[in-house]
Homo-oligomer: A and B are copies of this chain.
Amino acid sequence: MFRITPIENGICAVEGIYASGVNAGFKKDGFDLGFIRSDKEMDIVYLFTTNKFQAAPIKYVLLKNIKKTNFILANSKNANALTGEDGIKDIVEILEFLSTKIHVKNPLMSSTGVIGVRLDKEKIKKGIEKFDFNEKNSNKFAKAIMTTDSFPKVVAFEVEGEFGKFRIGGVAKGAGMINPAMATMLCFITTDANIPENEMKEILSEINEVTFNAISVDGDTSTNDSVFLMTTRSADYEKEAFREALKKVMQKLALDIVRDGEGATKAVAFVVSGAKDKNEAKIVAKNLTNSLLVKTALFGEDPNWGRIASTVGASGVECYEKRLKIAFENVVVYDRGKIIFDRETERKAHEIMKRKEFKIYVDLGIGDGEFTAYGCDLSYDYVKINAEYRT
């Protein structure tokens, strides 16, 4: 048995971890350059984008095969992607400069923003000069990595049980280019739990599948997606407790990303059950989060269940009209071949769709495959934000 309690201070809730952000001149105002730093060297594991054109900061980590670090430098407004060897050289130069300011061990960078533009090294160096390395301010760091995000995404828990106690905190960014095959996002998680080395990556991957890999804003997979898990190993550990706490951290941040989806007015969970297997359930759930016709119907608060059915049918999985069931929360609109959609049902479903968050249930009535994916609606503002991104 264990108890998970929400606490303040995000990634800095862990002892000996510092973080902050400054304005380095990329954004007109607001933070755009941040750091996470640890007194002790931390063990670090990571999951990176499946995009073949991995950004330079990702290439750098893989090249150096970094497994322990005490410093992460992060910037927004420039992804340092598609920048070739120059992109990596820029990172080396910046991190060398950093090492003249503070003792760093295997420092690494993490970037997000426009693709295909060289980093402005001078601005970043000037930003580094502004750092107060002893600040413990997760919020400033969270803001420094925001792009089109409208709010900083921060969370922390203390976990206590018979095994003792540990803390875990996380910060994430992401609002657009969010895709089921790993969202366009950065996520940094710190803990002091003394996780066995071989379990770090295993648990991170497992939880990632049902959190960041289950959300979608627009179905695009970026060049920079990264999730980092770091531990100082200075506290206790119990596998189940850690798994549960990590899931709470990642679920909260993943849902925050959907809630903050570019232009989104609502966050919707597509709960798919009764599929042949889990994989087919996942295909259906993710297709539903990505269908433009479903997303625009959500925006219009129109219980157009035909579009949901059509998307299920188009997804290529095993399904039959006579077994399919669709419901908006507890309002069933189609039940195994029967259309249950009179004026009253439509009104009820429409009322549910006015909520900020709700669930749509799709049961295929075949096997016991289940998966829940999280998506949002597609509004005028999504188009506005993305049509005007660079201007």
Partner of A383, one of B305, B310, B380: B380
Give the interface centre of A53, A302, A317, A391 by most chain B CB atoms within 10 Å. Answer: A53
Q: Mark A359-391, 1 if CB is under 8 A from B, else 0.
A: 000000000000000000011101110111111
Beta-carbon nearest neighbor of A83 in chain B: B339
Query: How far, in whole Å, are A132 and B127 apart by their CA atoms in the complex?
Result: 77
Query: How far, in whole Å, are A302 and B53 apart by their CA atoms in the complex?
Result: 21
Q: Is the CB of B306 within 8 A of A116?
A: yes
Query: How far, in whole Å, are A354 and B341 apart by their CA atoms in the complex?
Result: 45
Residues on B with beta carbons closer than 8 Å to the beta carbon of A318: 52
Majority-rule SS of A interface residues = loop
Known: A115-B309, A391-B300. A220 touches B384 (CB 8 A): no
Q: Give residues of chain A (312-327) contacting chain B, Cβ–Cβ below 8 Å.
A: 312-314, 316-322, 324
Q: Is the CB of A116 within 8 A of B387?
A: no
Q: Is the CB of A384 within 8 A of B380?
A: yes
Q: Is the C-beta of A223 less than 8 angstroms from some C-beta in chain B?
A: yes
Beta-carbon nearest neighbor of A298 in chain B: B387
Query: How far, in whole Å, are A221 and B314 apart by their CA atoms in the complex?
Result: 6
Q: Is the CB of A391 within 8 A of B302?
A: yes
Q: Is the CB of B293 within 8 A of A218?
A: yes
Stretch from A15-23, A175-183, A189-197, A232-240 at the B interface: A175-183
Residues on B with beta carbons closer than 8 Å to the beta carbon of A117: 306, 339, 341
Partner of A313, one of B223, B290, B304, B307: B223
Give the interface centre of A81, A318, A337, A386 by most chain B CB atoms within 10 Å. Answer: A386
Query: How far, in whole Å, are A51 and B293 apart by their CA atoms in the complex?
Result: 15
Which A residues lie at the B interface, using CB under 8 A?
50-54, 79, 81-84, 114-118, 176-177, 179, 181, 218-223, 290-293, 296-297, 299-300, 302, 304-307, 309-314, 316-322, 324, 334, 337-339, 341, 378-380, 382-384, 386-391
Q: A81-B310, A84-B322 are in contact. List 20 more A-B contacts (CB 8 A).
A: A50-B314, A51-B310, A52-B312, A52-B319, A54-B313, A79-B306, A81-B309, A82-B306, A115-B309, A117-B341, A118-B339, A218-B292, A220-B291, A221-B314, A223-B313, A292-B386, A304-B389, A379-B383, A380-B380, A382-B383
